[in-house]
């Protein structure tokens, strides 16, 4: 095992600092926390983001790209979307110098973190999406030695679904890049992944999952993570050929096949799915003429506000995308059983070779209608507590189908990929009876459209004030969304490190004044570090 001396332990790093090094062709991140030096891999295991450009808060480092988190003491992944841990290097202080040993110690993401034990329990997970896959991984990483059965309705292993409407649809990501894990990985980690397996109902008395084909699957604990189904546009002509939704890889492949021969596509819906589809199909790789129809007068107006939404619209228009906003589809126009265009409620007729509908989703919970589980009658979501436990103590729910207590009053349900992964982790730990109360998970999502890359942390369904740092018109800004003076969420472009700091600010409940939000000289990562550093460490 090789050793490298990096320098004086007194001067190499200050408390709370981190720095990237490259030793023996290995990229390494050195950190100093509570007077101790730690070293781990410098590259995020999600998409390869540079951790040194992220934010270090206590023992947790957050990737600036998609906010995966790792514990510097062990390299363990603590927040998705990363699945794997990063390598961890042994560090010693000898004769006043920091010494690092190679090779790294890599902890497998599913390696048991507690003592092995005989466990004959069966944990069943219904749903092979973000929440279900992460729950299976977290069960193994947390030490569960019993049987895990993962039931998935689709034919492929769990995939990187956010990529479907982005790089994959644009032709920039190959099919082999899409699986989160290989089929052999599930076999090696003794996760019984059953593809093309549809659930018919849940028998809570017998504790069994009834399948549409095959014998029932009994469970000791059950996680429901079936996600959502795309909303149908129920207007005349909706059953014509050439009308697509985008939810699965098969959906994306069907759209790609249409794009190969088509010249003009109509996208219905100006939400994130619709706008990402528009950018992907209008890209140089696809080269289609794109028309977007949306009910809002500005894209993302309800989520991001008019001023931010307008920069997305202008970016799309600069790349040739046309819009019909403040409009609704009255009917689809067909020719010989295939869609040829749409007629709007304004009377205008638009023509296209095919149509992609992205008008939102509904929780996939129809199979639970006779389960006896408590549900939200309006949305069809399952009601869960703060532990994601349903009205049945043996059943949990996570992801798009879970309606959980909001901070403050009421309930919320968030349809974000990373939120589903976070909830898969939380549900898995509570299924095992492990304490999760110390960790507050903050929602985060990202969108890439043309050369515009936006990150969003927190969750704001309403706000009464938006404070800006920088100008959205310059595509370099942060928008802070407030209600009654309290920060609920923030969105930013070209401010990745600040956005990572803001997730920690929301996680810890730190208060920012509007003047601090506006002030370019007010360092958000430094504010996080100084506000959360233990008093003993701050004195060094």
Instruction: Provide the residue ranges of all domains of the chain, joining segments of one domain with +.
Output: 3-105, 122-229+363-431, 243-358, 451-538
C-alpha Rg value of the chain to the nearest Å: 24
Closest C-alpha to 140, from 118, 176, 101, 108: 108
Q: Can you give the pLDDT of all 540 residues of the chain as single tens digits?
A: 688 888 888 889 999 999 999 888 889 999 999 999 999 999 999 999 999 999 999 999 999 999 999 999 999 999 999 999 999 999 999 989 999 987 766 665 555 444 345 789 999 999 999 999 999 999 999 999 999 999 999 999 999 999 999 999 999 999 999 999 999 999 999 999 999 999 999 999 999 999 999 999 999 999 999 999 999 999 999 999 999 999 999 999 999 999 999 999 999 999 999 999 999 999 999 999 999 999 999 999 999 999 999 999 999 999 999 999 999 999 999 999 999 999 999 999 999 999 999 999 999 999 999 999 999 989 999 999 999 999 999 999 999 999 999 877 789 999 999 999 999 999 999 999 997 665 679 999 999 999 999 999 999 999 999 999 999 999 999 999 999 999 999 999 999 999 999 999 999 999 999 999 999 999 999 999 988 876 545 444
In Å, how far from its chain's centre is CA 50? 19
Q: What homologous superfamily does CATH list for 451-538?
A: FAD/NAD-linked reductase, C-terminal dimerisation domain (3.30.390.30)
Q: Does CATH place domain 3-105 in 2.102.10.10? A: yes
The pTM score is 0.94
Q: What 3 state SS string does 136-200 have?
A: HHHHHHCCCCCEEEEECCCCCCCECHHHHHHHHHHCCCCHHHCECCCHHHHHHCCEEEECCCCEE
Q: What is the pLDDT of residue 115?
A: 38
Token pair listed for 288? 């289609």
Collect all residues with Cβ–Cβ distance below 8 Å to 378 and sequence separation of at least 6.
none
Q: What homologous superfamily does CATH list for 243-358?
A: FAD/NAD(P)-binding domain (3.50.50.60)
Cβ atoms of 337 and 345 within 8 Å: the answer is no
243-358 matches 122-229+363-431 in CATH topology: yes
- The DSSP code for 438 is T
Q: What is the pLDDT of residue 23?
A: 86
Q: What 3 state SS string does 396-417 have?
A: EECHHHEEEECCCCCEECCCCH
The C-alpha angle 19, 56, 47, rounded to 5 degrees, equals 80
Q: What is the pLDDT of residue 540?
A: 40
60-62 vs 228-230, strand pairing mode: unpaired
Q: Is the peptide bond before 103 cis (omega within 30 degrees of 0)?
A: yes
Q: What homologous superfamily does CATH list for 122-229+363-431?
A: FAD/NAD(P)-binding domain (3.50.50.60)
């Amino acid at each position: 095992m090789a050793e490298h001396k990096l320098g004086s332990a007194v001067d190499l790093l200050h408390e709370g600092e981190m720095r990237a090094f490259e030793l023996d062709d290995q990229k390494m991140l050195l950190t100093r926390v509570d007077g101790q030096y730690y070293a781990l891999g410098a590259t995020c295991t999600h998409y390869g983001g540079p951790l040194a450009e992220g934010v270090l808060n206590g023992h947790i480092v957050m990737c600036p790209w998609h906010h995966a988190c790792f514990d510097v003491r062990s390299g363990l992944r603590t927040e998705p979307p990363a699945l794997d841990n990063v390598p961890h290097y042994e560090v010693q202080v000898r004769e006043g110098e920091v010494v690092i040993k190679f090779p790294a110690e890599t902890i497998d993401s599913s390696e048991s973190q507690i003592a092995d034990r005989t466990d004959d329990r069966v944990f069943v997970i219904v749903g092979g999406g973000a929440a279900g896959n992460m729950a299976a991984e977290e069960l193994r990483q947390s030490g569960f030695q019993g049987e895990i059965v993962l039931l998935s309705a689709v034919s492929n292993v769990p995939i990187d679904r956010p990529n479907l409407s982005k790089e994959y649809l644009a032709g920039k990501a190959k099919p082999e890049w899409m699986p989160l894990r290989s089929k052999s990985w599930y076999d090696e980690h003794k996760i019984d992944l059953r593809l093309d397996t549809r659930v018919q109902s849940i028998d809570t008395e017998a504790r069994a999952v009834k399948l549409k084909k095959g014998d029932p699957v009994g469970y000791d604990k059950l996680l429901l993570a079936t996600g959502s189904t795309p909303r149908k546009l129920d207007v005349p002509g909706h059953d014509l050929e050439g009308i697509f939704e985008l939810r699965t890889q098969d959906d994306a492949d069907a759209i790609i096949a249409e794009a190969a021969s088509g010249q003009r596509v109509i996208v219905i819906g100006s939400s994130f799915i619709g706008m990402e589809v528009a950018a992907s199909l209008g890209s140089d790789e696809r080269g289609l003429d794109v028309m977007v129809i949306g009910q809002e007068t500005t894209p993302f107006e309800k989520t991001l506000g008019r001023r931010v939404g307008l920069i997305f619209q202008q970016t799309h228009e600069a790349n040739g995308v046309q819009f019909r906003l403040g409009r609704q589809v009255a009917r689809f126009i067909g020719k010989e059983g295939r869609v040829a265009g749409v007629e709007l409620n304004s009377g205008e007729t638009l023509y296209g070779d095919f149509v992609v509908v992205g008008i939102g989703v509904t929780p996939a919970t129809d199979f639970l209608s006779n389960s006896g589980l408590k549900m939200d009658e309006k949305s069809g979501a399952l009601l869960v507590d703060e532990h994601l436990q349903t009205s049945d103590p043996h059943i949990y729910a996570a992801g798009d189908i879970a309606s959980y207590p909001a901070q403050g009053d009421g309930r919320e349900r968030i349809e974000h990929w990373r939120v589903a992964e976070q909830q898969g982790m939380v549900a898995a730990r509570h299924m095992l009876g492990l304490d999760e109360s110390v960790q507050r998970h903050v929602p985060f999502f990202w969108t890439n459209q043309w050369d515009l890359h936006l990150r969003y942390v927190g969750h704001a369904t309403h706000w009464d004030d938006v404070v800006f740092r920088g100008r959205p018109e310059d595509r370099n800004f942060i928008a802070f969304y407030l209600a009654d003076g309290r920060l609920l969420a923030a969105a930013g472009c070209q401010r990745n490190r600040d956005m990572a700091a803001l997730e920690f600010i929301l996680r810890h409940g730190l208060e920012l004044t509007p003047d601090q939000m506006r002030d370019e000289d007010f360092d958000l990562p430094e504010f996080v570090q100084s506000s959360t550093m233990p008093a003993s460490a701050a004195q060094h």
